[in-house]
Structure 1
Amino acid sequence: MIKPVGDDVPMLNLGQPINIGQRTPVDLSQFGRVDDQPSFSSLLKQALDHVNSLQQDTSNRMRAIETGASTDLVGTMIAAQKSSLSFQALMQVRNKVVSAYEEVMRMQI
């Protein structure tokens, strides 16, 4: 939620010179702990599940069009494009991960 600028928000004072050598402490608690972050494998599984659900939805919509149970051809085509694009994006991520793995395996120790 965006807070409006008011009296409680500090404003930049252009009349004061900026001291570049002075460091202010940074509160890292806003970022959360590393343990709270989801793992790469769980994020990848979520992406796979999402792509799978989009493809199943498209398959169900296509079946409904073919059997005459639905006349929503535009919605079906949009769902097909969504599932196609999400699958292509997932394949690009997979290709990048495989490429990074191969690069690490080629490194000499």
Structure 2
Amino acid sequence: MSSPSIQSALAQMQSLASQAAGQSDKGQQVSTRVGQGGFADELQASIQRINQLQQTANSQAKAFQAGDPSVELNDVMVDMQKASVAFEMGKQVRSRLVTAYKDVMNMQV
């Protein structure tokens, strides 16, 4: 299931893609707002979610190593994989943002 913020982000991206392709009015202002918060807010929230996943995985691993009977090995492994995948996704997003920034900075005006 997709959350409303993801749907809003997808709609915004589709709108921006059509504007970039020249399918919209030429004088129209491009909005960088996504949902109620801006792009920076969404990026910061994503980084916080990645951090939370990593902290949860670390605390689960420490609890398992300490012998906590309520923590199962499969839960620890799943939490560690979630954190790893989220971190890799964050790195990919960062890499693409840097590439996009460099492309914009190298554009002829």
Amino acid at match of 1:91: K
Instruction: Give yes or no for the alignment of 1:64 onto 2:63.
Output: yes
Structure 1 stretches lacking a partner, 5+ long: 1-33
Question: Which 5+ residue runs of structure 2 have no aligned equivalent?
Answer: 1-32
Q: Comparing both structures, which one devotes a greater share of its residues to helix?
A: 2
The residue correspondences of 1:19-58 to structure 2 (distance < 5 A) are 37-58=36-57
Aligned-residue offset at 1:75: 0.3
Change (3 A) 1:72 1:35: closer
In structure 2, the partner of 1:77 is 77
- Taking structure 2 as the reference length, the TM-score comes to 0.65
What percentage of aligned pairs have identical amino acids?
33
**TM-superposition CA deviations, 1:22-43 (whole Å, max 9, x none):** xxxxxxxxxxxx6963200000
Moved over 4 A (4+): none
Query: Cα–Cα, structure 1 residues 36 and 76, in superposed 2: closer, same or farther, change >3 Å?
Result: closer
Larger Rg: 1
CA distance in 2, matches of 1:35, 1:54: 23
Q: What is the Cα deviation at residue 108 of structure 1? A: 1.5
Write the deviation string for residues 63-88 of structure 1: whole angstroms up to 9, x where unpaired: 01111124410000000000100111
